[in-house]
Structure 1
Amino acid sequence: MSNEKNIAEQEEVIEEQNAAEVEVEGETVNPDTTTETEEASESGNVAEQRIAELEAKLEEAENKVLRAQADFDNFRRRTRLDQEAAQKYRAQSLVSEIIPALDNFERALQIEADNDQTKSLLQGMNMVYNQLIQALQNEGVEAIKSVGEQFDPHIHQAVMQVEDENFESNTVIEELQKGYKLKDRVIRPAMVKVNQ
Protein backbone atom coordinates (compact mmCIF):
# COMPACT_ATOMS: atom_id res chain seq x y z
CA MET A 1 0.00 0.00 0.00
CA SER A 2 2.81 2.36 0.61
CA ASN A 3 3.65 1.88 -2.99
CA GLU A 4 0.23 3.04 -4.06
CA LYS A 5 0.49 5.94 -1.66
CA ASN A 6 3.84 7.04 -3.17
CA ILE A 7 2.43 6.86 -6.69
CA ALA A 8 -0.60 8.92 -5.69
CA GLU A 9 1.64 11.56 -4.08
CA GLN A 10 3.80 11.76 -7.19
CA GLU A 11 0.76 12.23 -9.39
CA GLU A 12 -0.44 15.05 -7.14
CA VAL A 13 2.93 16.80 -7.36
CA ILE A 14 2.89 16.55 -11.12
CA GLU A 15 -0.64 17.94 -11.28
CA GLU A 16 0.34 20.80 -8.94
CA GLN A 17 3.32 21.66 -11.12
CA ASN A 18 1.20 21.67 -14.24
CA ALA A 19 -1.43 23.83 -12.60
CA ALA A 20 1.01 26.16 -10.86
CA GLU A 21 1.18 29.68 -12.19
CA VAL A 22 4.13 31.99 -11.78
CA GLU A 23 3.73 35.73 -11.49
CA VAL A 24 6.14 37.57 -13.78
CA GLU A 25 6.22 41.38 -14.18
CA GLY A 26 2.74 41.80 -12.83
CA GLU A 27 1.29 39.09 -15.10
CA THR A 28 0.47 35.53 -14.27
CA VAL A 29 2.18 33.19 -16.63
CA ASN A 30 1.97 29.47 -16.81
CA PRO A 31 5.53 28.07 -16.68
CA ASP A 32 4.81 25.85 -19.65
CA THR A 33 3.73 28.84 -21.81
CA THR A 34 6.84 30.96 -21.08
CA THR A 35 8.88 29.02 -23.60
CA GLU A 36 6.08 29.42 -26.14
CA THR A 37 6.12 33.23 -25.82
CA GLU A 38 9.90 33.29 -26.05
CA GLU A 39 9.70 31.16 -29.18
CA ALA A 40 6.98 33.45 -30.57
CA SER A 41 9.07 36.57 -29.97
CA GLU A 42 12.12 34.90 -31.53
CA SER A 43 10.07 33.82 -34.53
CA GLY A 44 8.69 37.40 -34.73
CA ASN A 45 12.26 38.76 -34.91
CA VAL A 46 13.16 36.20 -37.55
CA ALA A 47 10.05 37.18 -39.53
CA GLU A 48 10.94 40.89 -39.28
CA GLN A 49 14.46 40.18 -40.50
CA ARG A 50 13.09 38.10 -43.34
CA ILE A 51 10.67 40.88 -44.29
CA ALA A 52 13.54 43.42 -44.26
CA GLU A 53 15.65 41.13 -46.47
CA LEU A 54 12.79 40.63 -48.91
CA GLU A 55 12.09 44.39 -49.06
CA ALA A 56 15.78 45.04 -49.80
CA LYS A 57 15.75 42.41 -52.55
CA LEU A 58 12.55 43.88 -54.00
CA GLU A 59 14.05 47.38 -54.06
CA GLU A 60 17.20 46.05 -55.73
CA ALA A 61 15.11 44.20 -58.32
CA GLU A 62 13.05 47.33 -59.02
CA ASN A 63 16.27 49.34 -59.50
CA LYS A 64 17.60 46.71 -61.89
CA VAL A 65 14.36 46.82 -63.88
CA LEU A 66 14.48 50.63 -64.05
CA ARG A 67 18.13 50.56 -65.19
CA ALA A 68 17.37 47.92 -67.81
CA GLN A 69 14.42 49.95 -69.07
CA ALA A 70 16.58 53.09 -69.28
CA ASP A 71 19.31 51.17 -71.12
CA PHE A 72 16.75 49.81 -73.56
CA ASP A 73 15.30 53.29 -74.15
CA ASN A 74 18.82 54.63 -74.81
CA PHE A 75 19.54 51.70 -77.14
CA ARG A 76 16.29 52.31 -79.04
CA ARG A 77 17.07 56.06 -79.35
CA ARG A 78 20.64 55.40 -80.56
CA THR A 79 19.37 52.85 -83.07
CA ARG A 80 16.80 55.30 -84.39
CA LEU A 81 19.44 58.05 -84.71
CA ASP A 82 21.82 55.65 -86.47
CA GLN A 83 19.09 54.63 -88.91
CA GLU A 84 18.23 58.27 -89.60
CA ALA A 85 21.90 59.10 -90.20
CA ALA A 86 22.32 56.05 -92.45
CA GLN A 87 19.28 57.12 -94.46
CA LYS A 88 20.39 60.75 -94.58
CA TYR A 89 23.95 59.95 -95.71
CA ARG A 90 23.23 56.77 -97.71
CA ALA A 91 24.84 58.25 -100.84
CA GLN A 92 28.10 59.28 -99.14
CA SER A 93 30.29 56.45 -100.45
CA LEU A 94 28.93 56.85 -103.99
CA VAL A 95 29.45 60.62 -103.87
CA SER A 96 33.03 60.14 -102.62
CA GLU A 97 33.77 57.96 -105.63
CA ILE A 98 32.05 60.23 -108.18
CA ILE A 99 33.77 63.46 -107.09
CA PRO A 100 37.13 62.61 -108.78
CA ALA A 101 35.22 61.90 -112.00
CA LEU A 102 33.62 65.35 -111.73
CA ASP A 103 37.10 66.88 -111.35
CA ASN A 104 38.19 65.15 -114.55
CA PHE A 105 35.04 66.34 -116.37
CA GLU A 106 35.78 69.92 -115.30
CA ARG A 107 39.37 69.69 -116.53
CA ALA A 108 38.21 68.22 -119.86
CA LEU A 109 35.59 70.95 -120.30
CA GLN A 110 38.27 73.64 -120.01
CA ILE A 111 39.86 72.55 -123.30
CA GLU A 112 39.65 75.06 -126.14
CA ALA A 113 37.67 73.63 -129.06
CA ASP A 114 39.25 74.42 -132.43
CA ASN A 115 37.00 72.38 -134.75
CA ASP A 116 33.39 71.27 -134.96
CA GLN A 117 34.11 67.72 -133.88
CA THR A 118 35.81 68.85 -130.66
CA LYS A 119 33.01 71.35 -129.99
CA SER A 120 30.43 68.59 -130.43
CA LEU A 121 32.37 66.27 -128.12
CA LEU A 122 32.69 69.01 -125.48
CA GLN A 123 28.99 69.77 -125.76
CA GLY A 124 28.13 66.08 -125.13
CA MET A 125 30.56 65.96 -122.19
CA ASN A 126 29.00 69.12 -120.79
CA MET A 127 25.54 67.55 -120.95
CA VAL A 128 26.75 64.44 -119.11
CA TYR A 129 28.54 66.63 -116.53
CA ASN A 130 25.37 68.66 -115.94
CA GLN A 131 23.31 65.47 -115.50
CA LEU A 132 25.81 64.19 -112.91
CA ILE A 133 25.71 67.51 -111.05
CA GLN A 134 21.88 67.48 -111.11
CA ALA A 135 21.73 63.90 -109.82
CA LEU A 136 24.14 64.77 -107.00
CA GLN A 137 22.16 67.89 -106.12
CA ASN A 138 18.99 65.77 -105.90
CA GLU A 139 20.78 63.65 -103.26
CA GLY A 140 21.75 66.78 -101.30
CA VAL A 141 25.30 67.28 -102.60
CA GLU A 142 26.45 70.84 -103.10
CA ALA A 143 29.75 72.50 -103.92
CA ILE A 144 31.37 74.49 -101.12
CA LYS A 145 31.59 78.22 -101.89
CA SER A 146 35.12 79.43 -101.46
CA VAL A 147 36.40 82.45 -103.41
CA GLY A 148 35.69 85.70 -101.55
CA GLU A 149 34.49 83.83 -98.43
CA GLN A 150 36.12 83.93 -95.00
CA PHE A 151 38.41 80.97 -94.45
CA ASP A 152 36.64 78.24 -92.43
CA PRO A 153 38.85 75.31 -91.39
CA HIS A 154 35.78 73.05 -91.24
CA ILE A 155 35.08 73.37 -94.96
CA HIS A 156 38.34 74.74 -96.40
CA GLN A 157 41.82 73.30 -96.56
CA ALA A 158 44.42 76.06 -96.84
CA VAL A 159 47.23 74.97 -99.14
CA MET A 160 48.86 78.37 -99.70
CA GLN A 161 48.94 81.77 -98.03
CA VAL A 162 49.66 84.97 -99.93
CA GLU A 163 49.56 88.68 -99.23
CA ASP A 164 47.15 90.60 -101.43
CA GLU A 165 46.01 94.13 -100.58
CA ASN A 166 42.85 93.70 -102.68
CA PHE A 167 41.41 91.14 -100.21
CA GLU A 168 40.74 91.28 -96.50
CA SER A 169 42.78 89.19 -94.09
CA ASN A 170 41.80 85.51 -93.81
CA THR A 171 39.80 85.62 -97.06
CA VAL A 172 39.92 82.87 -99.68
CA ILE A 173 41.54 84.26 -102.82
CA GLU A 174 41.55 81.25 -105.10
CA GLU A 175 40.04 77.77 -105.17
CA LEU A 176 42.53 75.10 -106.28
CA GLN A 177 40.13 72.15 -105.94
CA LYS A 178 36.37 72.18 -105.36
CA GLY A 179 34.99 70.94 -102.08
CA TYR A 180 31.66 69.20 -101.63
CA LYS A 181 29.12 68.73 -98.84
CA LEU A 182 26.43 66.07 -98.53
CA LYS A 183 23.63 67.83 -96.68
CA ASP A 184 25.51 69.14 -93.61
CA ARG A 185 28.50 66.75 -93.77
CA VAL A 186 31.71 67.74 -95.56
CA ILE A 187 32.68 65.03 -98.06
CA ARG A 188 35.79 66.79 -99.27
CA PRO A 189 37.04 70.20 -98.09
CA ALA A 190 37.89 72.80 -100.72
CA MET A 191 41.63 73.29 -101.31
CA VAL A 192 42.17 77.04 -101.27
CA LYS A 193 44.67 79.88 -101.31
CA VAL A 194 44.14 82.27 -98.39
CA ASN A 195 45.14 85.90 -97.87
CA GLN A 196 47.18 86.51 -94.72
Structure 2
Amino acid sequence: MSDKNTSEQQTQSTQQDTAAEQQTEQAQANASAQPEQPGEQGDQEQQTQLQQRVAELELALSKAEAKLTEQKDSVLRAAAESENVRRRAAQDVEKAQKFALEKFAAELLSTVDNLERALQLAQTSDDVSTNFVEGIELTHKGLVATLEKFGVAAVGEEGEAFNPDLHQAMSMQESTAHANNSVMAVMQRGYQLNGRLLRPAMVMVARNSGGVDTEA
Protein backbone atom coordinates (compact mmCIF):
# COMPACT_ATOMS: atom_id res chain seq x y z
CA MET A 1 0.00 0.00 0.00
CA SER A 2 1.25 3.42 -0.91
CA ASP A 3 1.77 6.29 1.43
CA LYS A 4 -0.97 8.20 -0.34
CA ASN A 5 -3.57 5.56 0.34
CA THR A 6 -2.48 5.31 3.93
CA SER A 7 -2.79 9.04 4.38
CA GLU A 8 -6.26 9.07 2.88
CA GLN A 9 -7.40 6.29 5.19
CA GLN A 10 -6.07 8.12 8.22
CA THR A 11 -7.84 11.27 7.10
CA GLN A 12 -11.11 9.42 6.66
CA SER A 13 -10.73 7.75 10.04
CA THR A 14 -10.05 11.09 11.68
CA GLN A 15 -13.10 12.62 10.03
CA GLN A 16 -15.26 9.70 11.16
CA ASP A 17 -14.01 10.04 14.74
CA THR A 18 -14.66 13.76 14.66
CA ALA A 19 -18.21 13.22 13.35
CA ALA A 20 -18.84 10.60 16.02
CA GLU A 21 -17.62 12.97 18.73
CA GLN A 22 -19.85 15.73 17.38
CA GLN A 23 -22.86 13.42 17.37
CA THR A 24 -22.10 12.40 20.98
CA GLU A 25 -21.76 16.03 22.07
CA GLN A 26 -25.00 16.92 20.28
CA ALA A 27 -26.82 14.06 21.99
CA GLN A 28 -25.51 15.14 25.38
CA ALA A 29 -26.55 18.75 24.67
CA ASN A 30 -30.02 17.61 23.66
CA ALA A 31 -30.30 15.49 26.80
CA SER A 32 -29.27 18.42 28.97
CA ALA A 33 -31.75 20.75 27.27
CA GLN A 34 -34.73 18.42 27.82
CA PRO A 35 -36.49 18.58 31.28
CA GLU A 36 -36.01 15.63 33.55
CA GLN A 37 -39.64 14.62 33.49
CA PRO A 38 -39.24 11.21 35.10
CA GLY A 39 -37.39 12.70 38.09
CA GLU A 40 -39.85 15.58 38.61
CA GLN A 41 -42.79 13.21 38.35
CA GLY A 42 -41.25 11.05 41.08
CA ASP A 43 -40.79 14.07 43.34
CA GLN A 44 -44.41 15.10 42.83
CA GLU A 45 -45.61 11.61 43.67
CA GLN A 46 -43.51 11.58 46.83
CA GLN A 47 -44.86 15.01 47.81
CA THR A 48 -48.43 13.86 47.22
CA GLN A 49 -47.88 10.73 49.27
CA LEU A 50 -46.33 12.82 52.02
CA GLN A 51 -49.32 15.18 52.04
CA GLN A 52 -51.70 12.24 52.17
CA ARG A 53 -49.75 10.75 55.05
CA VAL A 54 -49.83 14.07 56.93
CA ALA A 55 -53.57 14.33 56.34
CA GLU A 56 -54.06 10.77 57.66
CA LEU A 57 -52.00 11.56 60.76
CA GLU A 58 -53.93 14.78 61.37
CA LEU A 59 -57.24 12.89 61.05
CA ALA A 60 -56.02 10.19 63.43
CA LEU A 61 -54.89 12.85 65.90
CA SER A 62 -58.25 14.60 65.67
CA LYS A 63 -60.08 11.34 66.35
CA ALA A 64 -57.78 10.58 69.28
CA GLU A 65 -58.39 14.02 70.79
CA ALA A 66 -62.15 13.62 70.38
CA LYS A 67 -62.00 10.19 72.03
CA LEU A 68 -59.91 11.59 74.88
CA THR A 69 -62.40 14.43 75.41
CA GLU A 70 -65.29 11.96 75.42
CA GLN A 71 -63.53 9.70 77.93
CA LYS A 72 -62.66 12.70 80.11
CA ASP A 73 -66.31 13.79 80.10
CA SER A 74 -67.36 10.25 81.00
CA VAL A 75 -64.92 10.18 83.90
CA LEU A 76 -66.15 13.56 85.16
CA ARG A 77 -69.79 12.45 84.89
CA ALA A 78 -69.01 9.22 86.73
CA ALA A 79 -67.18 11.15 89.45
CA ALA A 80 -70.07 13.59 89.80
CA GLU A 81 -72.60 10.77 89.97
CA SER A 82 -70.49 8.99 92.56
CA GLU A 83 -70.32 12.17 94.63
CA ASN A 84 -74.09 12.60 94.37
CA VAL A 85 -74.65 9.02 95.51
CA ARG A 86 -72.26 9.50 98.41
CA ARG A 87 -73.92 12.76 99.42
CA ARG A 88 -77.42 11.26 99.22
CA ALA A 89 -76.29 8.29 101.27
CA ALA A 90 -74.78 10.60 103.88
CA GLN A 91 -78.02 12.61 103.98
CA ASP A 92 -80.07 9.44 104.38
CA VAL A 93 -77.84 8.28 107.22
CA GLU A 94 -78.07 11.69 108.87
CA LYS A 95 -81.87 11.70 108.56
CA ALA A 96 -82.06 8.17 109.91
CA GLN A 97 -79.99 9.18 112.90
CA LYS A 98 -81.98 12.34 113.52
CA PHE A 99 -85.44 10.87 113.13
CA ALA A 100 -84.97 7.29 114.32
CA LEU A 101 -86.78 8.21 117.55
CA GLU A 102 -89.67 9.94 115.79
CA LYS A 103 -92.33 7.32 116.51
CA PHE A 104 -91.02 6.67 119.98
CA ALA A 105 -90.96 10.37 120.84
CA ALA A 106 -94.46 10.86 119.44
CA GLU A 107 -95.72 8.09 121.70
CA LEU A 108 -94.16 9.79 124.75
CA LEU A 109 -95.96 13.06 124.06
CA SER A 110 -99.22 11.70 125.45
CA THR A 111 -97.40 10.91 128.70
CA VAL A 112 -96.11 14.47 128.85
CA ASP A 113 -99.64 15.76 128.23
CA ASN A 114 -101.03 13.61 131.04
CA LEU A 115 -98.39 14.83 133.46
CA GLU A 116 -99.13 18.46 132.55
CA ARG A 117 -102.88 17.92 133.07
CA ALA A 118 -102.25 16.20 136.39
CA LEU A 119 -99.99 19.05 137.43
CA GLN A 120 -102.56 21.68 136.50
CA LEU A 121 -105.25 19.79 138.39
CA ALA A 122 -103.05 19.31 141.44
CA GLN A 123 -102.10 22.97 141.54
CA THR A 124 -105.75 24.03 141.59
CA SER A 125 -106.82 21.48 144.19
CA ASP A 126 -106.55 22.08 147.93
CA ASP A 127 -106.74 18.39 148.79
CA VAL A 128 -103.45 17.44 147.08
CA SER A 129 -100.29 17.44 149.17
CA THR A 130 -97.32 19.57 148.25
CA ASN A 131 -95.06 16.54 148.00
CA PHE A 132 -97.36 14.97 145.44
CA VAL A 133 -97.33 18.12 143.33
CA GLU A 134 -93.56 18.34 143.55
CA GLY A 135 -93.30 14.71 142.50
CA ILE A 136 -95.37 15.37 139.40
CA GLU A 137 -93.29 18.45 138.62
CA LEU A 138 -90.02 16.53 138.94
CA THR A 139 -91.33 13.69 136.78
CA HIS A 140 -92.53 16.14 134.15
CA LYS A 141 -89.26 18.10 134.12
CA GLY A 142 -87.19 14.92 133.92
CA LEU A 143 -89.19 13.57 130.98
CA VAL A 144 -89.07 16.91 129.12
CA ALA A 145 -85.31 17.17 129.73
CA THR A 146 -84.80 13.68 128.36
CA LEU A 147 -86.80 14.50 125.25
CA GLU A 148 -84.85 17.72 124.74
CA LYS A 149 -81.60 15.76 125.05
CA PHE A 150 -82.61 13.76 121.98
CA GLY A 151 -83.76 16.76 119.95
CA VAL A 152 -87.43 17.00 120.95
CA ALA A 153 -88.44 20.60 121.65
CA ALA A 154 -91.81 22.12 122.57
CA VAL A 155 -93.44 24.76 120.35
CA GLY A 156 -96.38 27.03 121.06
CA GLU A 157 -96.13 29.86 123.57
CA GLU A 158 -98.72 32.39 124.54
CA GLY A 159 -98.12 35.80 122.94
CA GLU A 160 -96.15 34.61 119.93
CA ALA A 161 -97.35 35.20 116.37
CA PHE A 162 -99.57 32.54 114.89
CA ASN A 163 -97.59 30.30 112.54
CA PRO A 164 -99.60 27.78 110.50
CA ASP A 165 -96.48 25.64 110.14
CA LEU A 166 -96.31 25.18 113.92
CA HIS A 167 -99.77 26.01 115.23
CA GLN A 168 -103.24 24.61 114.71
CA ALA A 169 -105.87 27.25 115.38
CA MET A 170 -108.72 25.70 117.35
CA SER A 171 -110.63 28.97 117.60
CA MET A 172 -110.37 32.72 117.30
CA GLN A 173 -111.48 35.18 119.97
CA GLU A 174 -111.76 38.91 120.22
CA SER A 175 -109.16 40.32 122.60
CA THR A 176 -107.84 43.81 123.19
CA ALA A 177 -105.11 42.48 125.47
CA HIS A 178 -103.35 40.59 122.68
CA ALA A 179 -101.96 41.59 119.32
CA ASN A 180 -104.01 40.66 116.31
CA ASN A 181 -103.33 37.15 114.99
CA SER A 182 -101.26 36.17 118.02
CA VAL A 183 -101.54 33.13 120.28
CA MET A 184 -103.68 34.08 123.27
CA ALA A 185 -103.89 30.58 124.77
CA VAL A 186 -102.18 27.20 124.28
CA MET A 187 -104.53 24.29 124.73
CA GLN A 188 -101.92 21.66 123.89
CA ARG A 189 -98.23 22.11 123.24
CA GLY A 190 -96.72 21.11 119.95
CA TYR A 191 -93.35 19.41 119.52
CA GLN A 192 -90.54 19.23 116.97
CA LEU A 193 -87.86 16.58 116.52
CA ASN A 194 -84.65 18.13 115.18
CA GLY A 195 -86.68 20.75 113.37
CA ARG A 196 -89.29 18.33 112.01
CA LEU A 197 -92.78 18.86 113.36
CA LEU A 198 -94.08 15.92 115.38
CA ARG A 199 -97.39 17.59 116.04
CA PRO A 200 -98.66 21.20 115.89
CA ALA A 201 -99.59 23.18 118.96
CA MET A 202 -103.32 23.58 119.47
CA VAL A 203 -103.89 27.26 120.15
CA MET A 204 -106.49 29.96 120.44
CA VAL A 205 -105.80 32.94 118.19
CA ALA A 206 -106.57 36.52 119.14
CA ARG A 207 -108.55 38.71 116.80
CA ASN A 208 -108.10 42.40 117.48
CA SER A 209 -109.07 44.80 114.74
CA GLY A 210 -107.72 47.74 116.71
CA GLY A 211 -104.47 46.06 117.72
CA VAL A 212 -101.14 45.57 116.01
CA ASP A 213 -101.10 42.85 113.37
CA THR A 214 -98.22 40.50 114.18
CA GLU A 215 -97.91 39.50 110.52
CA ALA A 216 -97.28 43.10 109.40
TM exceeding 0.5:
yes
1:136 maps to a residue whose letter is L
1:98 aligns with 2:108: yes
Corresponding residue for 1:67?
77
Q: How many residues align?
A: 171
CA distance in 2, matches of 1:42, 1:89: 70
CA distance in 1, matches of 2:143, 2:75: 53
The share of aligned pairs that are identical, in percent, is 33
1:186 positional shift:
2.4
Report the 3-state secondary structure (helix = DSSP H, G, I; strand = E; otherwise coil) of the residue aligned with 1:176: strand
Corresponding residue for 2:52?
42
For residues 132-184 of structure 1, what are the alpha-carbon distances to aligned partners after superposition, in whole Å with 9 as ceiling and x for unaligned?
A: 22211221222114211111222211121111122110111111211112233
1:115 positional shift:
6.1
1:99 positional shift:
1.1
1:48 positional shift:
1.7
**Matches for 1:1-12 after TM superposition, within 5 Å:** none
2:73 maps to a residue whose letter is N
1:182 aligns with 2:193: yes
Corresponding residue for 2:87?
77
**Matches for 1:1-196 after TM superposition, within 5 Å:** 21-22=36-37, 28-31=39-42, 35=45, 37-112=47-122, 126-196=137-207
CA distance in 2, matches of 1:174, 1:126: 21
Determine which structure has more spread, i.e. the larger CA radius of gyration. 2
2:100 maps to a residue whose letter is R
Report the 3-state secondary structure (helix = DSSP H, G, I; strand = E; otherwise coil) of the residue aligned with 1:83: helix
1:106 positional shift:
2.7
Report the 3-state secondary structure (helix = DSSP H, G, I; strand = E; otherwise coil) of the residue aligned with 1:146: coil
User: Structure 1 128/163 Cα, relative in aligned 2: closer, same or farther at 3 Å?
Assistant: same
Instruction: Output the aligned Cα RMSD.
Output: 3.0
**Gaps (5+ residues) in structure 2?**
1-34, 208-216
1:65 positional shift:
1.1
Report the 3-state secondary structure (helix = DSSP H, G, I; strand = E; otherwise coil) of the residue aligned with 1:100: helix
Matched-pair contact (CA < 8 Å) for 2:156–2:186: no
CA distance in 2, matches of 1:174, 1:115: 27
Report the 3-state secondary structure (helix = DSSP H, G, I; strand = E; otherwise coil) of the residue aligned with 2:158: coil
CA distance in 1, matches of 2:204, 2:121: 24
**Gaps (5+ residues) in structure 1?**
1-19
User: Structure 1 166/97 Cα, relative in aligned 2: closer, same or farther at 3 Å?
Assistant: same
Q: TM-score, normalised by structure 1?
A: 0.70
CA distance in 1, matches of 2:56, 2:170: 80
CA distance in 2, matches of 1:44, 1:140: 72
